[in-house]
Chain A
Amino acid sequence: MPSVKTAKVCYITGGTAPIKRIMAIAAGKFVCWLSRLSGNQGSSLPGLVARRICPGILVELAAQVHRGVVMITGTNGKTTTGNMIAGVLLAAGYKVINNREGANLITGVTASFVRKSSLWGKIDCDYAVLEVDEASFPGVTAEVRPQIVVLTNFFRDQLDRYWEVDKIVGLINTALQKLPGTRLVLNADDPLAAQFREKTGLSCTFYGLGGFERRSGTGDRVREARFCPFCGAPLVYDNFYYSQLGIYKCSGCPFVRPEAQVEATEIVLGPSSTTSMVVYDHSRVLLTVPAHGLHNLYNALAAFSAGSALKIGIESIVRALENYVPVSGRMEAFIYHGKPVYLNLVKNPAGFNEGLAALLNGKERSKDVLLAINDLDADGRDISWLWDVDFEVLAETGRLSFFCTGRRGEEMALRLKYAGISTDRIGLSRDMRAAIRKALAGTGEKVYLYTTYTALWPARKILSRMAVKGNYDQNLPSLS
């Protein structure tokens, strides 16, 4: 792996020439902008370009993370788990870098740092939460030292690239041997993940399900580890969830499903949420994850474990997980009395600007716009960034009506006023429900809702009651 070697040379010689670093970051950011312009997320290309110019860029940028790096690898649930962990840390008031877009190769990881970096190569964040592709794990850990590694599970996946599960496990094991002091968060129910305690000797936090009876016999077919990873004898299952996940013990040696420090019991699977009692550290807490399925419960437990390993308060973890947004709120479409409604999460000036672009497009004569701005920890308590959003572009079109709400709706209204929007087009209400109702009842041909992180879930809930979920352009629901 030549890139890794070059990076090390760069590192040992005490860093890159500043001009090279600046060029690398500038080029990376430029590519970000270009690919966004062409309507493409382009999540790893900026990293590729930056690494070409300065191979040590990731080492330099990642070394600046104040508190630590959490990496998530494994076959399934990396993105969701990563997003959940990032949510837990954000809710606890930390600044977090994460490769949300699922750009999980070394170039994607590099890109996520380049995007957050100042032009001078400065990173200001407390934690980096990185979803890392299993095959990229050795390369990434050679440049970024994780404090915590979450191993979700190991299934057969993309066999063309990944040879077989054993090789992946071996690869990750070799990489972990070079990371003494790292804490592992492991799925106790997956023997392939659980084996890493014995294999590495690292300190571990286990999570798993306790006392869940799966009625249907699905998943019995593709069992990866029917045999013990240590002695090769068949594993015996007391309880079986899916694939090789369950409560197992080896028939030939002492290997047995480890006791889970974070364990979900009394599990209730709902259509769009999963509720369970989480038992940890001699306490119990009720957790409802707004996502369907056992796999999402596993993801939440992994995030719970990582959060508690980072000493985040349990209440704060539970609140963050209950507010988890399953990649919705990105121009999520609804229909209200035959007119399209879009819900969009906004977190920073760049994203907000992108979201506002939708208001300028289209031939519609008029649009109603709702802006819900909160300033809780997960939103960022400092709302100054609203002043870096280009609301000025909206002043030129007189076809928009605005409704501001949220804990800082007043500041939002003030921002619009200073953007040059006439104050008689700016409504303000403390009551989010009333504000949403007004926006929906407006005379506009389309409605756009922009909300910050903690306002998204309540807004979505209100909207779901008033409007029908669905895309106007794709399938018009029959209106009864």
Chain B
Amino acid sequence: MIKICHLYPELLNLYGDRGNIIAFVRRCQWRGVDVTTREANLGDPVDFSDTDFLFLGGGSDREQDLIAGDIKRRRAELRSAIENGLVVLAICGGYQLLGQYYRTGDGRVIPGLGLLDFYTEAGGKRLLGNVVIEVMLDGALVRVYGFENHSGRTFLGETEPLGKVLAGNGNNGCDGWEGARYKNVFCSYLHGPLLPKNAGLTDHLIALALKRRGLDLPLIPLDDRFEKRACKVLQDRLL
């Protein structure tokens, strides 16, 4: 049984975030793996050590402010769960929240959780459009497709990037990196949503979650023709 927790769905709900949960759930179900999903909002109790997959979606500055206080109280528990291999997917606002800080346009600094080493600064022009990145998954380079829409520019410190930008802007539009990755934590500006089209990445997350539960088995392959066709549209257009 895989337990999914969708954190702050009421506040962090960029268009399509739900699609990431749908994809994760379906690909478990199609393989006969039981899944439960629970939503946790401000103040709701969450046991991270009893969670297999944590999802944090996108939001804007205003929402981040509201969440900052709540998530700070959960920091220690979340940190130890991450160190113990909790699988996390954080998109856009959720991604920024895990870093050191977010500096707003008027110079205000919103402290992040500091779980990963990167920081974000508000930028002028929004970075917006379809994106292709190249991600290393289990020793193989995999192309990941999505859509970005963010004004924040993220700069990585010690933390590794999720992938290399092949088309689009990525973290800040200048250094060529997209997202961040630490242990089983995957951060990205890509929505679109990210998981449905990118079946390889989704399966990687499922495999990591199962492995943490002691089920280190290769996943049953699925028919991914629809996923491949959806990716090919962007591949043909952008690459």
Contact = CB atoms under 8 A, between A and B. Distances in A.
Contact of A384 (B14, B23, B66, B128): B14
Nearest to B191: A384
Interface residues of B, number: 31
Contact of A414 (B10, B16, B62, B226): B226
A410 B16 contact: no
Nearest to B147: A382
Contacts of B130: 381
B69 to A, nearest CB: 15
Given A411-B197, A423-B226, A387 B16 contact: yes
Contact of A387 (B18, B63, B129, B223): B18
B196 interface: yes
A418 interface: yes
Contacts of B191: 382, 384
Contact of A388 (B15, B62, B128, B232): B15
A420 B193 CA distance: 17
Of B15, B193, B197, B227, most A-chain CB atoms within 10 Å: B15
Contacts of B192: 382-384
Interface in A382-434: 382-388, 407-408, 410-411, 413-415, 417-420, 423, 426, 428
A410 B193 contact: no
Nearest to A426: B226
Given A381-B128, A384-B191, A410-B230, A120 B62 contact: yes
B16 A413 contact: no
A120 B18 contact: no
Contacts of B230: 410-411, 413-414
Interface string B207-239: 000000000000000010011011011000000
B37 interface: no
Nearest to A416: B226
B204 interface: no
A418 B30 CA distance: 10
Grouping DSSP codes into helix (H, G, I), strand (E, B) and loop, the B interface class, with mixed when no group exceeds half, is helix
Contacts of B128: 381-382
A410 B129 contact: no
A418 B19 contact: yes
Nearest to A375: B130
A384 B16 contact: yes
B229 A385 contact: no
A418 B15 contact: no
B22 A414 contact: no
Contacts of A124: 60
Nearest to B16: A384
Interface in B11-57: 14-19, 22-23, 26
Contacts of B17: 387
B149 interface: yes
Contacts, number: 76
A249 interface: no
Nearest to B13: A388
Nearest to B227: A414
A122 B62 CA distance: 8
Contacts of B15: 382, 384-385, 387-388
Contact of B226 (A384, A385, A417): A417
A384 B62 contact: no
B233 A413 contact: no
B193 A384 contact: yes
Interface in B155-200: 191-193, 196-197
A388 B17 CA distance: 8
B193 A387 contact: yes
Contacts of A119: 10
Nearest to B130: A381
Given A382-B15, A384-B147, A120 B63 contact: yes
A401 to B, nearest CB: 16
Nearest to B25: A418
B196 A387 contact: yes
Nearest to A386: B16
B124 to A, nearest CB: 13
Nearest to A408: B233
A326 to B, nearest CB: 29
A388 B16 contact: yes
Nearest to A124: B60
Interface in B105-132: 128-130
A371 B86 CA distance: 39
A414 B23 CA distance: 10
A410 B229 contact: yes
A122 B60 contact: yes
A396 to B, nearest CB: 16
Contacts of A407: 233
B18 A388 contact: yes
A-B complex: 6 closest residue pairs judged by Cβ atoms? A384-B16, A387-B19, A384-B15, A387-B16, A410-B230, A410-B229
22 contacts: A381-B128, A381-B129, A382-B15, A382-B149, A382-B191, A382-B192, A383-B147, A384-B14, A384-B193, A385-B16, A387-B16, A387-B18, A387-B19, A388-B15, A388-B19, A407-B233, A410-B226, A414-B197, A414-B226, A414-B227, A415-B19, A418-B196
Given A407-B233, A415-B196, A423-B223, 5 more contacts: A382-B149, A384-B147, A387-B193, A388-B19, A413-B226
Interface of B: 10, 14-19, 22-23, 26, 60, 62-63, 66, 128-130, 147, 149, 191-193, 196-197, 223, 226-227, 229-230, 232-233
